Amino acid sequence: MSELVIKDLHVSVDDNEILKGLDLTIKQGEVHAMMGPNGSGKSTLAYTLMGHPAYDVSGGEIIFNGEDVLELDPDERSRLGMFLAFQYPVAIPGVTVANFLRMALNARRKDDDPEDKGIPIPEFRTLLKEKMDALGMDHAFAGRYLNDGFSGGEKKRAEILQLATLDPQIAILDETDSGLDIDALRTVAEGVEALRGPGLGVLVITHYQRMLNHIKPDFVHILLEGRIVESGGPELALQLEEQGYDWIREKYGQPVA
């Protein structure tokens, strides 16, 4: 079973320490929710896990499948089986969703076998249709330019389709609910739930309980000032929904907004 192990992680941006000794383990088949107020370090964690160069790791380890991924480039981490769904996915005019996904799959196959000539088009079309059917997506979506003119919900659905097609072992969803209305949120969450299973570990980074009404986490963690200060089950998210973050700030000696 694959697992992502984060040990005593310290991360800085422009000499400002954001993560201050974070510990977390995510195993395949588990769904973890990471919650916390603005500025607590949630997105910093997501981008650090995938190797964004703006984030300087000054201490700690990130171990995936027994390998220290801090020594790997972002594409190498992806090929190893990690996936990040961005909070604000970028548009790529001129590149269709289907072509983007086929290029991504071929890059992985090439990494496994330099002589591989890529997934045959008929095989890829069958695969893509199967994934879209499982997610309840119109096949015409695959012919649109990636995120070009997409609504917020369509951008997030495109990311879930990428997740389904690339089939990683660990997925990090960075505030996937950001900017979504209730219907779009439900659609995206249902897509994540459709992919849920023993082969996929998920870290859901979110501000709000509403996302967790549709994606049921096994574990909930509260991040404050760069550290996980509380962990529990789904009831912890419900407590945050009812009481906000002030009780956490008071408990750990932080200023109350």
pTM: 0.90
**Predicted confidence (pLDDT) per residue in 109-126, tens digit:** 777 777 778 899 999 999
Lookup: tokens for 46 = 């997501």
CB-based contacts of 137, cutoff 8 Å, min separation 6: 157, 161
Domain boundaries, the chain: 3-89+146-251
In the chain, where does DSSP find H-type helix? 42-49, 74-80, 97-112, 121-134, 152-166, 182-195, 209-212, 234-243, 246-251
Q: Which has the closest alpha carbon to 240: 215, 225, 216, 223?
A: 223
How does pLDDT run along the chain (257 residues), one tens digit per residue? 789 999 999 999 999 999 999 999 999 999 999 999 888 999 999 999 999 999 999 999 999 988 999 989 998 999 899 999 887 788 999 999 999 999 999 988 777 777 778 899 999 999 999 999 988 899 999 999 999 999 888 888 899 999 999 999 999 998 877 777 788 788 888 888 888 999 999 999 988 778 888 888 999 999 999 999 999 999 999 898 888 888 999 988 776 65
Q: For the segment 192-213, what is each residue's pLDDT rounded down to a tens digit?
A: 888 899 999 999 998 877 888 8
DSSP 222: E
- Please provide the DSSP assignment of 69-106 as one string: GGGS-HHHHHHHTEEEE-SSPPPEEEEEHHHHHHHHHH
What's the CA gap between 65 and 81, in Å, rounded? 9
User: Do residues 2 and 65 lie in contact, with contact meaning Cβ atoms separated by under 8 Å?
Assistant: yes
Within the chain, how many helices (H) and strands (E) appear? 9, 12
State the fold for domain 3-89+146-251: Rossmann fold (3.40.50)
Find residue 228's DSSP bridge partners: 223
Contact predicate 138/167, CB 8 Å: no
